[in-house]
Amino acid sequence: MTVLKLAEAQRIAAAARDKGSELGLEPLTIAVLDRGGHLRLLEREDGAALLRPDIAFAKAWGALGMGLPTSELARRNELMPAFFTALGPVSGGRMLPVPGGVLIHRKGEVLGAIGISGSTSDNDEICAVAGTEVAGFVADAAATPEVRALEL
């Protein structure tokens, strides 16, 4: 079983921060969890709002808990709102079905997840995917925000 190392989580977060800077986004908060849902890294950029760490964690934890990126959970939430309303209490409030939570894969194995909060949910996801891929991992996102925009 492969473990997501702290240095790897740091590379993912740094690349995600770089993408946020490139896009000129508001300050980001980044949570990287291992496959068991344990926090490996939490970074809150200067000026990030008070609730951002909880939101970033909930995005990553929700992706891990359901085994799907949160953009897909958001899509399913629209189809099954009662189910997703029930997931709040079941998960102890640790789940947020909006884009920005992405599973981290290597060689077909889920190593963990990244959750980002600070901008729009679609921008958060763009940064999560970029951070994961620039760091050499495979990001499991249902569809990138750019693809979803084309589908509209």
Burial class (CB in 10 A: 0-12, 13-18, 19+), 109: exposed
For the chain, the structural domain boundaries read 26-151
**8 A C-beta contact, residue 135 and residue 11:** yes
pLDDT at 140 over 80: yes
Q: Which of 114, 135, 106, 138 is nearest to 1 (CA)?
A: 106
How many H-runs (helices) and E-runs (strands) does the chain carry?
Answer: 6, 5
- For 37-56, b where at least 16 C-beta lie within 10 A, e where not — what string? eeebbbbbbeebeeebbbbb
pTM to 2 decimal places = 0.90
User: What confidence score (pLDDT) does residue 143 get?
Assistant: 52
Tens digits of per-residue pLDDT, 12-40? 999 999 999 999 999 999 999 999 999 99
**8 A C-beta contact, residue 143 and residue 150:** no
Q: Is 139 helix (H, G, I), strand (E, B) or coil?
A: strand
Q: Tell me the residue type at 101.
A: G
Confidence band, pLDDT 50/70/90 cuts, at residue 142: low
Confidence band, pLDDT 50/70/90 cuts, at residue 79: very high
CATH number of 26-151: 3.30.450.150
